[in-house]
Amino acid sequence: MSHDILTQTHDAVLRIQINRPDKKNALTLAMYEAMTAALLAAEADPAVRVILFAGADSCFTAGNDLADFLNSPPGGEDSPVFRFLKTLIAAQKPVLAAVHGVAVGIGTTMLLHCDLVYAGPSARFQTPFVNLGLTPEAASSLLLPQLMGHRRAAELLLLGETFDAETALAVGLINGLRADSELDAYVLHKADILAAKPPTAVRLSKQLMKRWPAAAVQQAMGQEGDIFIARLHSSEAREAMTAFFERRQPDFSRVVDDAL
């Protein structure tokens, strides 16, 4: 297991902590693989009844590691990022998340596949795919408009704006807000409440809730994935990501758009 992903069991709750604070918890290939392994192990272990994702104190995650996007972009459905998303989406046990600080890209879109999400006032949600020459993933092109309407979703997916925790609560992206200092204990308490409930009834209820949108989510993921992978090789994406590491604004006036 990667040391950038820590797992800890609190009674019947498995806590998966993203722990790469020097890089704002940006997710590498190894971290996706470690999270997928932790999810699969939790699903297989009858002693685990609830899964909880948490970040470090100052950040949830800055999203996919941009150096990985440049140097080892996902090539298809078996890539670590897609395997992680598919495993999360298929999780039968309830999944909670506690969000402090930045939740960028997949840091926001993965929350669409968690059952209960709580955040501190420090939380900042952003899906800046367009700013990077990319397009939505994790079925967010379907689920964000469904959740908050096309116009609010366009603020996230087209403008790449940042939502603070109050806005995220107002649009239904999170269940509740707690002081950052109390958040982890509060979410663990919610997880304990769920873990004490009859597990089969919980599992079947989640399964029923997810059953109807499942085919649409799968279809959206497939269509998004093909476009996303192609976009990663575009000159727009290369300019945006290179600019990030060179700590300059990207200049899209010179890029020649790639036909798609």
Residues that bind ligand COA (CB under 6 A): 23-24, 26, 62-67, 102, 104-105, 128-129, 132
Min dist. Cβ of residue 244 to ligand COA (A): 6
**Min separation Cβ 101 and ligand COA, Å:** 8
Residue with Cβ nearer ligand COA (66 or 157): 66
Closest CB to ligand COA among residues 56, 187:
56
CA distance to 38, 89, 239, per residue, from 35 (Å): 5, 13, 30
Q: Which pair of structure tokens corresponds to residue 125?
A: 């949600």
d(CA 67, CA 27): 10
Structure tokens at 182: 């109390």
Q: Which is nearer to ligand COA, 24 or 83 (CB)?
A: 24
Compute the least distance from the CB of residue 211 to ligand COA, in Å: 29
Residue number, nearest CB to ligand COA: 105
200: left (phi over 0), alpha (psi -120 to 50) or beta: alpha
* Residue 128 Cβ vs ligand COA, minimum distance, rounded to whole Å: 5
- Spell out the residues 6+ positions from residue 226 whose beta carbon is closer than 8 angstroms to its own: none
CA 235, CA 255: separation in Å to the nearest integer?
Answer: 6
Closer to ligand COA by CB, 98 or 104: give it: 104
